[in-house]
Homo-oligomer: A and B are copies of this chain.
Amino acid sequence: MSDVLTKVTLKKLLIDSNINDLQQYLEDLHPADILEVLRDRDLNKLEVMEKLPIRLLADVFEEMEEEEKENFLNLFPEPRQYKIVDEMTSDEIADLLSNFEPKRITRFLANIGKEAAEDVKELLTYEDDTAGGLMASEFVAINETMNVKETLKYLQSAVQDVESAYYLYVLDENDILKGIISLRDLVISTFDTKIGEIMSENVKSVPLEMDQEEVAALFEKYGYQAIPVTDENGKMLGIITVDDIIEVVREEATEDIFRLAGVNEGEIIDGSTFASVKSRLPWLSVNLVTAILAGATVGIFSDTINKVVILAAFNPIIAGMGGNAGTQSLTLIVRGIALGEFTKENAKRIFRKEALVGLINGLAIGLVIAVIGILWTNKPVFGLIVGVSMLGNMCVATIVGYLVPVTLKKLKVDPALASAVFVTTVTDMGGFFLFLGLATLLVNYLI
């Protein structure tokens, strides 16, 4: 990466320069780079932050992680905090304030611009993981009777509001969204073109309560830079921008990965020991119950094991391989559901494929383990029992790996949440039962 300003240079610049010296570098400073410098432990953070123009400082705050934001903000006296927050976009203010206690929220709302305060109050009422929670209230509204030159003149005079404009929104007198025009379409059109002529009227918009994962899917499908949020009457309420969506995609994927492994989706890698225990112990407890059930299945057959002790060695192989095969199917289905690739139309075809995969892999692995069983014990019947149990358990595993997440989805439970424990319980108990049951039936050939 060609960094014209390296972190070291930037740090020196921020420490050594005074406010006036900094002015000439401002357009080359990226808030994310400044934040990186501010994170250094040995820095007088307040001193450096006080040198930054308030607008840039607010941008630096917008780059921070949730927890960081509050810590950095608390370095300032509260009146100064109001000024910084006032420069942020409404969605950022709402995210920040949502962690404050009610009294502090009220103080902040009373001390920032009236219009912003109204917007933020509204935004605070929406759920975090919905369109409303992602939305910012700032967007550029224009009128369809304006022409391109008038629009450009208007934009030139309204710099503040054009913070993150990729699109201009064409509203009627009741703020109903009529059309949309991208900056790209604006700049390639001749000055006298009317906005009404070049705007697109087939505007996709989303309702406040749409789940963020659905919103992300729309962004991906249409390649949007931003998407408008409207109420049931088509009144424009705000916009969601693509930079928030990359975060959503990552978050949702992490949630899936964590849930499949029995880790609470909120656990952070660098968090406290207590938080980690709280995140994982409940899941381990559930697993303990199912593991005991599986152990009890083995207990039922202790007479048989007493007679043929080698069964105890092959037992975990059958169960474990079923678990592996089940986890493969499960993972594919869970991810397919999350990405919207699993649909009503292809559900049956996928089921047949999974069943067939289970059969083929079961035959292959079953054959190998049968041969090993015979070589180990010198008893063909033992090989037969091991092979058939492996085949059976792997078939059951892929089918259960399909059925569990699909059923959870129908019950409107996140398929990633409890699938793994269901599947391994079935493959453990099923594997033990099948293998030891068969061995019990044929025990006379094994002694």
Contacts and interface: CB of A to CB of B under 8 A. Distances in A.
Nearest to A41: B345
A253 interface: yes
A425 B288 CA distance: 19
Interface stretch (A50-58, A88-96, A270-278): A270-278
A246 B267 contact: no
A75 interface: no
A370 interface: no
A298 interface: yes
Interface of A: 1-5, 27-30, 32, 63, 152, 155-156, 158-159, 162, 164-166, 183-184, 186-191, 198, 200-207, 210, 216, 218-223, 225, 230, 234, 242-243, 245-247, 249-250, 253-254, 256-258, 260-263, 267-273, 276-277, 280-281, 283-285, 287-288, 291-292, 294-296, 298-299, 302, 305-306, 309-317, 319-321, 324-325, 327-328, 330-336, 339, 341-342, 346, 349-350, 353-354, 356-357, 360-361, 364-365, 368-369, 372, 424, 428, 432
Contacts of A320: 287, 291, 294, 424, 428
A91 to B, nearest CB: 13
B372 A1 contact: no
Contact of A335 (B30, B159, B254, B291): B254
Contacts of A189: 156
A333 B273 contact: no
Contacts of A298: 312-313, 315-316
Nearest to A376: B299
Given A29-B202, A262-B328, A263-B332, A319 B316 contact: yes
Nearest to A25: B202
Contacts of A295: 313-317
